[in-house]
Structure 1
């Protein structure tokens, strides 16, 4: 696996190949079933309220600037789609976090060729729930203040034009944070150290986050892209840390 800037897409591609292995099937199907349930529930809810959300976000322009509606409307449609997208990934990852951690463990075992994790059992899975849920809460604590700032930006006339592209950039970064955190947490790497590690590999992180973000934006395809992102992030973590000192 090449270790070079902007090499992130290669890791997601490797993640797709990895989750096709028969010995990983159970660890893919468990989070996948949760993703499907959350996805269809959120789509049903969003379809009924989508137009109302866009209308609430759109600024009230004077009549002489009404021509700008044709420019602003697509931007706010994108903004609402981004919010729906991140809500889906947040809820799905929160519920499926123990299964996601197990998938990351098994991918790491294959990548390293050695197993230093406890064997899979339902008891072990239950024991992981408090730790993985806490880590997901930590991600939400990182995400929410920044998302709130962007949401406030989206209501400020003039300034709100830049809200959508900032959301895109922030979501790309969060994709790297979300999925790299699984192998980092499995290896007892703290949240602060994990973030510092991502920042030290900013272009690689954004490359992986960007391609993951695009894959997760495709309806139905995103259901299989989520476990692939976990596998790809784990491969990235293992490969990039081979020559680094243990943190």
Structure 2
């Protein structure tokens, strides 16, 4: 089942649609009150994945000075102040790249190991809204393979985008102001595409369909994805927000497919 090649974008203002996307995550957070048991189950795989990625990021922090010195050998003979400055900038660039890869990688791994939990959360959201129009039967094995393959693709994209952002991080001022904003936008977009995987898969739609539908309303997709990305940067935020992000992604998927997102 394939979506149309050309999809008209909503005509409302981009800023309003961006914050509408943020609102979808807030609605997902509301499920903690309405389905606390289900949402807390969704925390379990996030905790397991978080332990792995927190350890990896902590290792990066521990070695960041050595890495910064390794990529700036030209500064070895400089005086203390300029050498320290360029290596601080290099260290921040490494941490920025590491943060992007950690957030996207955490989401990919958590969605794979928590597939049954997050599938249930996503289905619960759609059931409240009248079910899944055009649903197809997806065997668990096929669903898991799809999740792994799509997640690997998106992690690969995060590396592809992350390398030029890492290099741009060496540019004074721009690297510490513009680059983090662009990084949040890139990370937010990748998260949005990744998180809507389950509701699209239930309709027989694949990764290219997700991209096409979300691009048609990029502002809403970015609002949702950037909000999730920023929450995932907060300590324990990734663990607690992950189930809500899955719920909000079900709403985003329905909205991008032109299906209602209000309970009757």
Rounded Cα–Cα distance in structure 1 between residues aligned with 2:150 and 2:56:
26
Look up the SS of the partner of 1:189 in the other structure. coil
Among 26, 43, 51, the residue aligned to 2:62: 51
For residue 39 of structure 1, report the CA deviation from its aligned partner: 1.2
Rounded Cα–Cα distance in structure 2 between residues aligned with 1:184 and 1:85:
22
- TM-score, normalised relative to structure 2: 0.73
In structure 2, what is the equivalent of residue 29 of structure 1?
Answer: 40
- Cα displacement string for residues 73-122 of structure 1 (whole angstroms, at most 9, x for unaligned residues): 3343333233333332222122112321221111100122689979xxxx
Cα distance change of structure 1 residues 141 and 44 upon mapping to structure 2, 3 Å threshold: closer
Runs (5+) with no aligned partner, structure 2: 1-11
Rounded Cα–Cα distance in structure 2 between residues aligned with 1:146 and 1:88:
12
Look up the SS of the partner of 1:112 in the other structure. coil
- TM-score, normalised relative to structure 1: 0.78
Cα distance change of structure 1 residues 153 and 204 upon mapping to structure 2, 3 Å threshold: closer
Among 125, 128, 131, the residue aligned to 2:140: 128
For residue 191 of structure 1, report the CA deviation from its aligned partner: 2.0
Runs (5+) with no aligned partner, structure 1: 119-123
Cα distance change of structure 1 residues 166 and 108 upon mapping to structure 2, 3 Å threshold: same
Kept in 1, the 8 Å contact 2:121–2:246? The answer is yes
Look up the SS of the partner of 2:199 in the other structure. helix
- Cα displacement string for residues 143-167 of structure 1 (whole angstroms, at most 9, x for unaligned residues): 3045145336636895794865543
Cα distance change of structure 1 residues 132 and 216 upon mapping to structure 2, 3 Å threshold: same
Rounded Cα–Cα distance in structure 2 between residues aligned with 1:157 and 1:207:
24
Kept in 2, the 8 Å contact 1:79–1:164? The answer is no
Rounded Cα–Cα distance in structure 2 between residues aligned with 1:33 and 1:134:
22
In structure 1, what is the equivalent of residue 191 of structure 2?
Answer: 175
For residue 38 of structure 1, report the CA deviation from its aligned partner: 2.0
